[in-house]
């Protein structure tokens, strides 16, 4: 691209970052999208990878492929480590370089969120979260390995601990994960083991809140809880996890023995607020103006889960629809400024509703005054999620897999895949001594 055209740098290839880039497809500018992964992840379906319904490639799409038709857009694989607002550049590191400055005329930070353990970072070692494809594969390994370990265990008294699954956090991710694990153990795995009965697995959903799906209406929350309990999930509310270790969880002074604990509770924003050195909310999200720009720096925009913006006196939720709409708005605004057109009015989020699936063929849906639960809500949930997958091939693949799983109970990917770098090499002591002796000769 010629240096005479403005450069727009987008940091992050999630929902908001991609929406920004797509809105700039015809802009007379050089668009540079930077992400530390080469793929976009459809995060609402991560739990389906974690519970072996879908494979990694069905919800992950290469960013280059998504944006391949945009001739004004360059994709860079790297991690942004800082921003200099005065010099108008971001600093990027990759495998062999660090602190590489990339100048910008306009900057859009769409850096998303990560897990938050509410000050108990020691929990992370024993309770993995679910924010990336790597997280989903790790959780899938952990769940499937629990059944394999129980099948091989000679002591039946240990089966209960191995087959107890604890999920901490009863928001949409926790509810969907709990329901999916329940269906996995009772429909898919029940006939595949000989020494254990997968149907006897315990699934416990914890939250200190008084009800599940706290952002939904009370009637839908109750419907979701009743559905979970009908699937055999133990729902424990009013108390959080006081301690998580290798042996399980302590809740309100009670020890729940478990080898598989999954964190589905809080999230924390990226360090964009620290990079910019601007005002943030209590959670650390950047306080933006009504046009999603940073106060005092009209060329810097923060969108998606990293941004904090109030509408009608309430903060906007950290959901995909907010991120997509903010990204599209930011891209459209920048395009208009560059083209010398009238700036759009203040950003206004249009709430299309909330959805959550609870096991096979059941979901809850809330859109305005419409409250729906059951199979029809599940069909609506499926249609909406298929629509927002990044690629047509993914929509076809996921649709066929869902139909197959619904009809047969068979999962798409039940492979335990451990990366070699994480697997210690086990060698017979005698072989090790012989190798050492030969080496010393």
**CA proximity to 243, closest of 129, 112, 92, 127:** 127
Structure token pair of residue 400? 């066929």
- Left, alpha or beta for 243 (phi > 0: left; psi -120 to 50: alpha)? beta
First to last CA, the chain: 61
H helices present in 108-232, as ranges: 133-152, 159-162, 172-183, 218-230
Using the structure block, give the residue that is written with the tokens 């005054």: 369
176 is an active site residue:
yes
β-bridge mates for residue 242, sequence order = none
Q: Which residues contact 209 (CB under 8 A, 6 or more apart)?
A: 170, 237, 238
> Treating both helix axes as pointing N-terminal to C-terminal, what angle do 172-183 and 218-230 enclose, rounded to 10 degrees?
20
> Which candidate in 176, 199, 366, 431 is catalytic?
176
Using the structure block, give the residue that is written with the tokens 């900057």: 107
Structure token pair of residue 312? 């009608």
Question: Between vectors from CA 275 to CA 74 and to CA 332, what angle results, nearest 5°?
Answer: 45
Question: At 41, is the secondary structure helix, strand, or coil?
Answer: strand
Neighbours of 238 (CB within 10 A): 12
Using the structure block, give the residue that is written with the tokens 């809105």: 23
- Do residues 364 and 216 touch, judged by C-beta distance below 8 A? yes
DSSP-assigned letter for residue 360: T
In this structure, the chain runs to a length of 441
The residues carrying an active-site annotation are: 176
């Amino acid at each position: 691209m010629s240096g005479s055209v403005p450069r727009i740098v987008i940091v992050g290839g999630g929902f908001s970052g991609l929406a920004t880039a797509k809105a700039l497809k015809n802009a007379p500018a050089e668009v540079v999208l930077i992400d530390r992964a080469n793929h976009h992840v459809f995060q609402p379906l991560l739990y389906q990878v974690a519970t072996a319904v879908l494979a990694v490639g069905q919800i992950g799409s290469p960013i280059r492929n998504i944006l391949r038709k945009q001739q004004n857009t360059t994709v860079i694989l790297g991690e942004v480590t800082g921003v200099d607002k005065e010099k108008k550049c971001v600093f990027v590191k990759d495998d062999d370089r660090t602190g590489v400055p990339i100048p910008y005329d306009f900057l859009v930070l769409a850096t998303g969120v990560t897990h938050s353990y509410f000050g108990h970072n020691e929990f992370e070692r024993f309770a993995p979260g679910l924010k990336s494809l790597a997280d989903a594969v790790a959780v899938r390994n952990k769940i499937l390995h629990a059944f394999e370990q129980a099948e091989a265990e000679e002591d039946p008294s240990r089966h209960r601990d191995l087959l107890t699954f604890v999920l901490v956090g009863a928001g949409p991710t926790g509810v969907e994960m709990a329901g999916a694990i329940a269906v996995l153990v009772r429909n898919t795995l029940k006939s595949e083991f000989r020494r254990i009965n997968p149907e006897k697995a315990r699934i416990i959903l914890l939250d200190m809140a008084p009800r599940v799906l706290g952002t939904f209406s009370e009637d839908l929350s109750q419907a979701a809880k009743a559905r979970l309990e009908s699937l055999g999930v133990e729902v424990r509310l009013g108390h959080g996890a006081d301690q998580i270790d290798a042996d399980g969880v302590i809740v309100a002074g009670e020890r729940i023995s478990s080898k598989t604990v999954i964190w589905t509770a809080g999230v924390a924003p990226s360090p964009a607020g620290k990079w910019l050195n601007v005002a943030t909310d209590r959670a650390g999200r950047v306080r933006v103006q009504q046009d999603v720009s940073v106060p005092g720096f009209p060329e810097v925009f923060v969108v998606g889960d990293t941004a904090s913006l109030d509408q009608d006196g309430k903060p906007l939720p950290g959901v995909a629809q907010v991120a997509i709409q903010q990204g599209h708005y930011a891209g459209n605004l920048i395009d208009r400024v560059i083209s010398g057109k009238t700036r759009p009015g203040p950003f206004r989020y249009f709430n299309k509703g909330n959805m959550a699936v609870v096991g096979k063929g059941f979901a809850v849906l809330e859109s305005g005054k419409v409250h729906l639960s059951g199979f029809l809500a599940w069909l609506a949930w499926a249609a909406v999620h298929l629509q927002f997958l990044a690629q047509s091939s993914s929509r076809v693949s996921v649709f066929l897999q869902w139909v197959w799983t619904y009809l047969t109970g068979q999962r798409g990917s039940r492979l335990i895949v451990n990366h070699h770098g994480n697997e210690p090499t086990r060698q017979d002591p005698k072989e090790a001594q012989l190798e050492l002796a030969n080496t010393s000769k």
